[in-house]
Amino acid sequence: MPWNVWILFSWVVPILGSRGPISMPFSREMTSSENENVVLLKWGYDRELQEISIEIQTPLATWVVLGLSPEGKLNASDFAVGGWDKENKQVFYDAHFKDEWPPVMDKSQDYELLELSRNETHVVLRVWRQWFTCDSHDLEIENDTIRVIVVFGEDHEFTLLEKNTYIKSFFFLEILKELTDTENLIPYEFRVNDFLIPADDTTYACTFIPMPNVSTKHHIVRYELIVDPDSVGIVHHILIYGCGNNLEFSSEIGACYGSDTRYSKCMNSLFGWAVGGEVFDFSPDMGVPIGTEEDPKYIRLEIHYSNFHNKEGLLDSSGIRIYYTPQLREHDGGILMTGIFTFPIHFIPPGADHFRNYGLCNTELIPQMLGHPVEDFHVNTFLLHGHLTVQSIRIMHYRNGTLIGSLGEDKRYDFNFQQVRDLPGVITVQMGDQIVVECSSSTPDREGVTFGGPSTTNEMCVVFLFYYPVVPIAACWSLLDIQHVVEVLELDESETIMDAIININGVDWDEETIVKAQNAILEADHTAIITHRTGEMINETSSTLPIFAPTPHPCHEYTDD
């Protein structure tokens, strides 16, 4: 529909701008490989009233479009459209994509215009809407990733040009945190030095690096990524693990999961980064302790390289920069890894849609591992980690076998946007509670079974929970009883786990066998595993817990046009 045609219908959409102000403390730049210009996105929200204001600043244009999308595609996206007609009159409306560009007007107009202006160089469009509008054409604003689409143009024909189309993932409901003791922050870097990246699909490179040399207790309160420009897109994740103080350390770089068993004795995640992550500040009342006799003197730096184009001769000096301070915070914090133990027992059939796998953390094993009572954990932050098949992840919290809440989720997980996220409040996990991580995957274009493993083309289902007070436990996770799956699928009897995996790999998968496998996973017992920061493990057989679908918002009773 040309610009001058839809302009005729603009009279039904009043330009309001009457909403009360919502502060907009969040901002990010959006870039395009096709255009050197930058689009600025700003936003703010009111959690109590469930309202959000969003602003885009684009290069000078006649029309601009702000889109909210579940997958980054025009189809199923929610749009706010603004601009000027040939008589220089403002036009604004709420729209959706229907079969072809441009977006068509919604019957229910749920965006309100707060500002539409331009100067010699830029256009500003600022809008307001509720998180839930009960309009099927409006994307719900929840604790999920949202792909933002920004399009703009100079003509009056509403021409869609790739160079003027910007797409980027955002988490709108992030918690604003500000460091108050910046004058006392001391930077320190954990990084490799001109490491020659192998021309292999997957490399896990590890080395030992000393902690900052401090004689009194300090707290690490911030960390940020350091990545070589030539390594962007190849560095998949960087993790820092605390080591015990009874190892012999060296500065050589080796294979993390090869013959050097020292690496397996440094398992306690202190902090880390994955694709799309940003600078992270710990909550104002906690920090990672260093400098005492109990704290690690060395760390294991792990960098996962995904060199799928097999580039040769790349030298990398990537790593993580931390900031620590002598100004101590109230709590000593740590990170607990939970979910599915990374092993091929974790599998997703080809051609599956929303196939779910589960990892179980049974916290009653933590005091058993440590040999003494343990205080309740207080969780305030989480990081979700899956690979390319994962579409959603949720962390379910059980007490006495009953689901009591959530420790985090993302129904629109984006592998390229693995951002650490803060909970709106602190959640207490009592010793004896169970934590179940659910990863839902889709494999429409895969020809073979996708197994759990280290490569990006394998799959993972892991969550990092940030909590206090810290204990020397690295992970609380599980493996399901794969033999039960073999029995349900009526496969040949398997004497070993590897036999079972081979049998599953040989299944002639169809809709019926996929459903059988899904039901078997839901029924199977788990081997619940606790991993000490030194690499020591204990395990116990645990029964499955009842799994319920998420409770939908009342707005799922949509209106429609």
Known catalytic residues?
Answer: 204, 385
CB 112 within 8 A of CB 129: yes
Q: Is 93 in contact with 104 (CB distance < 8 Å)?
A: no
Strand partners, 479: 527
Closest CA to 533 of 342, 369, 359, 385: 369
CA distance 245 to 208: 12
- 3-state SS track over 322-371: EEEECCCCCEECEEEEEEECCCCCCEECCCCCCEEEEEEEECCHHHHHHC
For residue 95, give the H/E element and its range: strand 90-98
Mark 432-454 as b/e (b = at least 16 C-beta within 10 Å).
Answer: ebbbbbbbbbbbeebeebbbbbe
Residue with tokens 């400098």: 291
Query: 549: which DSSP letter?
Result: P
Q: Within a 13 Å sphere around the CA of 80, how many CA atoms are in the beta-carbon half?
A: 23
Question: What is the spatial order of strands in the sheet that 235-242 belongs to?
Answer: 254-255, 202-210, 298-306, 235-242, 268-274
Q: Which of 340, 408, 406 is nearest to 144 (CA)?
A: 408
- What φ, ψ does residue 485 adopt, rounded to 5°? -65, -40
